[in-house]
Amino acid sequence: MKPDARLDLVADVRDLQIVDCDEENCGIVDDLELEGAPGGKLRVKAILVGPGAWRNRLPRWAAWLVRRIAGDKLTRIKWEEVEKITSVVQLRRSAAELGLGEADRRLAAMLPKKGILDASR
């Protein structure tokens, strides 16, 4: 599916895996930002990623709990950055360029880069 096709937003895009241009997982479509006037056409403006986006979809007590545990981080990815939508949402650029996967990079610095044996098959 191309990003300018008609979308059933909830069924087609929300909660789908996001992969970057290198096919690396870099989050889930946690919510969508829309634009448009009442009575007019709605257009997707951006993908929202992070606990700051998905916690708002939960009951108030659960949203409070998520905020305490996972924080409030939210990353906005412009819809123009979407390359295509299949069983995943593929982005045109790398996760790092779009501000995704920061937690991975921070934690990776704390862990050894390799296991003792070569993990390549």
Query: Under the rule (CB under 8 A), what is the footprint of other proteins?
Result: 14-18, 24-28, 30, 54, 57-58, 62, 87-88, 101, 103-104, 107-108, 110-121
Q: How far is the CB of 103 from other proteins (least distance, A)?
A: 7
Q: Which residues of 31-68 are buried (b: 16+ CB within 10 A; e: fewer)?
A: bbeeeeeeeeeeebebbbbbbbbbbeeeeeeeeeebee
Q: How far is the CB of 97 from other proteins (least distance, A)?
A: 16
Q: How far is the CB of 45 from other proteins (least distance, A)?
A: 20
Toward other proteins, which CB reaches closer, 15 or 35? Answer: 15
- Token pair for 89: 């949402």
Q: How far is the CB of 100 from other proteins (least distance, A)?
A: 9
Toward other proteins, which CB reaches closer, 41 or 113? Answer: 113
CA–CA distance, 86 with 5 (Å, rounded to integer):
12
Residue 20 contacts residue 27 (beta carbons within 8 Å): no
